[in-house]
Structure 1
């Protein structure tokens, strides 16, 4: 028979029995208390059953527990508050709650003054414990495990994109304990550093929402001097009671560089790396890292973490060779040679210009003038000689 609240009330009226119905939510793998109370009057009898098949859960009479007929799955997991029974407390403690405990329980009590009944509807929830996010090829993957009931997953980007462009593929599966794992993927839009990808995992009853976001970027660093690696929290990140963590990843090994606590405003450095952040800037959402020594090629991870929310920035650092600096001797020689060359150039230029001006001002050559004066005389002499020859003829 399926017991509904209406059926319970009718049953209680028909039998003239006092009865109630309550609901309790147990946390997976933790102890849970099923409430049941009665009017104590001596010779107490308490009998708990699992109403799905009327499986015996716990029985008490003659001031002692009697568990000979207890259902096997409840063995070693139930107890009463024996020192409170004479005060009218018949509540049942159920240890190490699991998914198989979900259902309706019946509490029957009897004393010298009559009997009472109550029902307890038990739900078991496995809350969200963490959410992971990572980039794999041309996709961003978000995942979480060990949840009950199955959660919901949603995606957005910063800057925002149209919902029809951000298509997700989500898979949900259950393990042997009945707990759910969820994995969801979206394709990267445009260049890898164009967007921050935000994944939210929400419990079935809406009481929990875990959010994690990831941004990936690349920078080039000169292999000499200091380097600044940027990291800015999302505008939606709640900058209260959070932790900033910087780590360096190379060859799949992660090494924490420093951590910053927003409550104490203290920075703790790790390892030998000379790195620091500006506390005032961090409190306003700028967690950029300043490396006083040369950055290493690899991935630097910045993490803003608070209750049920995390923002990650992965920065791939590539090193570029520094330009070769000239030695002090070369610089000193160049300092002498260059002025000398400049003076020589000026002198040669001046000499050429002077020679050109002198040629323009010099008088004509005398030999040339004499030749010009004698030319008409030669023409006259030649003409006379020609005339004499004609007369002789």
Structure 2
């Protein structure tokens, strides 16, 4: 195959352009500084790094979406795009450190920033990706009945990005857990996560566990709760057990009637045991249980009876003594005197037989 001169020239040009492009790409790859990612917290101070080789006649510009956000060493002075929240330190710049300090970071500050430094010896560029997050500071878990049925309510507030909420039980259950989770953002862009799970019927002693994580990683927050009712008898000591799940294994004990909350707390983990205590009070028509005693009533009745009998005996004895010592009535006394006179006259009268004293009648 014989190539014409025109075809040969075109072929050589194509290869030359291809090799030049590869060389330029390789050179650019060698000179390119890899992007750096910085994660900062809402309302706190953030540092965007930019390091270069120091040289005279330095000027620095920070761009965001090709808009100058802050500048140093140029005649037009500082840009107002950051509303006075950005700062650079001249001594650090002289040493090759053009780090931008951004105060009171908000979600609106997220994005790609580019640092451009110009010196008498050349130029330098660096890119920084700024991520902003709001950490989890607390997690609440409670039993709610506002929906007309019992449900566990897990809430976390002021979080960014939107967190991920998962549920579990201890011991594990074979039933399918179907929580309803809502994410609500406020005017600052921070999220409140509200996740609700219906209480499983027929399993009153379950521990419900709510876990929350963020997409940026970091620790997983866990809150668990067990609600139960304990029944005791009036007049007796009541022991309320309190045991944490295996990951917070530490026993607790409370005594006495009432409503108690036992809380185990560790870093990023909280477990609550809430016991509603009910006391049984015996009624009048129900047999007295061994734990309930009314012997004081029986003792009181016996004591009153003994006192009444004693008082009656004393009264009868006093009445008998009074009857013996009291004078008789006048009518009784007259009748007794008459009887005594008749008996006395009979004893003093003598009777003579008839014909005595020579046939003369006896003298009366």
- The 1:66/1:330 distance shift into structure 2, 3 A limit, reads same
The aligned counterpart of 2:254 is 289
Are 2:28 and 1:31 equivalent residues in the alignment? no
Residue 187 of structure 1, CA deviation: 1.0
Are 2:197 and 1:186 equivalent residues in the alignment? yes
Work out the CA distance in 1 between the residues paired with 2:29 and 2:246: 62
| Residue correspondence of structure 1 range 306-317 to structure 2 within 5 A | 306-317=266-277
Question: Which SS does the other structure have where 2:247 is aligned?
Answer: coil
TM-score by length of 2: 0.67
The aligned counterpart of 1:265 is none
The aligned counterpart of 1:343 is none
Are 2:60 and 1:46 equivalent residues in the alignment? yes
Work out the CA distance in 1 between the residues paired with 2:107 and 2:216: 16
Greater shift after overlay, 132-141 or 315-324? 315-324
The aligned counterpart of 1:105 is 113
- The 1:56/1:131 distance shift into structure 2, 3 A limit, reads same
Structure 1: state its 5+ residue gaps.
1-9, 240-284, 338-393
- The 1:12/1:26 distance shift into structure 2, 3 A limit, reads farther
The aligned counterpart of 1:207 is 218
Are 2:125 and 1:114 equivalent residues in the alignment? no
Work out the CA distance in 2 between the residues paired with 1:14 and 1:156: 52
- The 1:11/1:97 distance shift into structure 2, 3 A limit, reads farther
Deviations 1:261-317 (A, max 9, x none): xxxxxxxxxxxxxxxxxxxxxxxx1111134xxx34xx3111100011111111112
The aligned counterpart of 1:76 is 84
Work out the CA distance in 2 between the residues paired with 1:192 and 1:65: 72
Structure 2: state its 5+ residue gaps.
1-23, 283-291, 307-364
- The 1:193/1:163 distance shift into structure 2, 3 A limit, reads closer
The aligned counterpart of 1:143 is 155
The aligned counterpart of 1:174 is 185
Work out the CA distance in 1 between the residues paired with 2:107 and 2:207: 37
Work out the CA distance in 2 between the residues paired with 1:163 and 1:109: 62
- The 1:59/1:192 distance shift into structure 2, 3 A limit, reads same
The aligned counterpart of 1:154 is 166
- The 1:332/1:28 distance shift into structure 2, 3 A limit, reads same
Deviations 1:180-205 (A, max 9, x none): 11111111112462311111111113
Residue 163 of structure 1, CA deviation: 4.9
Are 2:166 and 1:197 equivalent residues in the alignment? no
Work out the CA distance in 1 between the residues paired with 2:129 and 2:61: 16
The aligned counterpart of 1:60 is 72
- The 1:177/1:105 distance shift into structure 2, 3 A limit, reads same
Residue 25 of structure 1, CA deviation: 0.9
Question: Which SS does the other structure have where 2:243 is aligned?
Answer: coil
Work out the CA distance in 2 between the residues paired with 1:192 and 1:300: 21
Question: Which SS does the other structure have where 2:60 is aligned?
Answer: strand
- The 1:18/1:220 distance shift into structure 2, 3 A limit, reads closer
If you compute each CA radius of gyration, which structure gives the higher value, 1 or 2? Answer: 2
Count the aligned residue pairs: 270
Q: Does the CA-based 8 Å contact 1:170-1:185 persist in structure 2?
A: yes
Work out the CA distance in 1 between the residues paired with 2:70 and 2:26: 22
Work out the CA distance in 1 between the residues paired with 2:113 and 2:126: 8
Deviations 1:88-112 (A, max 9, x none): 0000011111111110001011111
Q: Does the CA-based 8 Å contact 1:17-1:116 persist in structure 2?
A: no
The aligned counterpart of 1:235 is 246
Are 2:304 and 1:304 equivalent residues in the alignment? no
Residue 327 of structure 1, aligned match among 291, 296, 304: 296
Work out the CA distance in 2 between the residues paired with 1:59 and 1:48: 6
Residue 222 of structure 1, CA deviation: 4.0
Residue 320 of structure 1, CA deviation: 3.1
